[in-house]
Chain A
């Protein structure tokens, strides 16, 4: 589950580890969302969704701040198209 300690740990993750965390957390959020499709009132499912979606947002924020945008929707144009200036999210390139 997401915690303050896990958030601090994310700050120190390398690109590949953080990407793995994002992918697995994203999968978890999707899994829980599908469970909630059929159990919309389940408090356990709702709680887990809240926890993991918050964890995912936090991980994405850290990743994009440190390593660049994950999607073209979050590209910040500072005079150049950064999307092609840095490795794409799916490219390997662990710096750890």
Chain B
């Protein structure tokens, strides 16, 4: 069932998030305004929020408010952990919202991820967008250049990998995942629903590790 489209309610919530009255005026600094909500657009490198840049910002005069996790270039948060999602229909996407229901927002407003995992068009990396930590027991250390890089784990093992972090501005990140930074919400994975298909004979299936032909992929790192 498609959720109701209540943009005004959403807008009201956003306003309630702020400790000051928000303005629907265009940002005097970035001069962008969202055509839907009449709020200033979040621009690459910073969120303009709902107020003129620097006006009451926690970052001080002249600075744009921080990009908050869950915010997209359109200026609206994609997810509201712990709270309900209000707004427009999700366009049929799965109803996955941590701690809350999906009242429905257009998913089309999310950053357009490029197939190669790079930043959306018009985005440039900045220090504020980089992740400062790697949440893994195996911390990777990298030595970076635009052609390739060497990575090594805590046990001293090293591996040379090709550079994947090139955009219009060239090499810019240490790790392909780090370049996503804090500008994107936590991952929402989608796994296609398995359909019944051809089966291997039991002997063959045991050797392949699955009886389902549709699931028999070659996994790099084990059989490549």
Contact = CB atoms under 8 A, between A and B. Distances in A.
Partners in one complex: yes
Interface of A: 20-21, 23-25, 27-28, 31-32, 35, 38-39, 42, 44-45, 48, 52
A48 B201 CA distance: 12
Contacts of A42: 196
A39 B197 CA distance: 13
B212 interface: yes
Contacts, number: 35
A42 B202 CA distance: 20
Interface residues of B, number: 11
A31 B210 contact: yes
Given A39-B194, A39-B196, A45-B196, A52 B202 contact: yes
Contacts of A39: 194, 196
Given A20-B203, A31-B205, A45-B196, 7 more contacts: A21-B203, A23-B206, A24-B205, A27-B206, A28-B211, A31-B210, A48-B199
Interface string B162-185: 000000000000000000000000
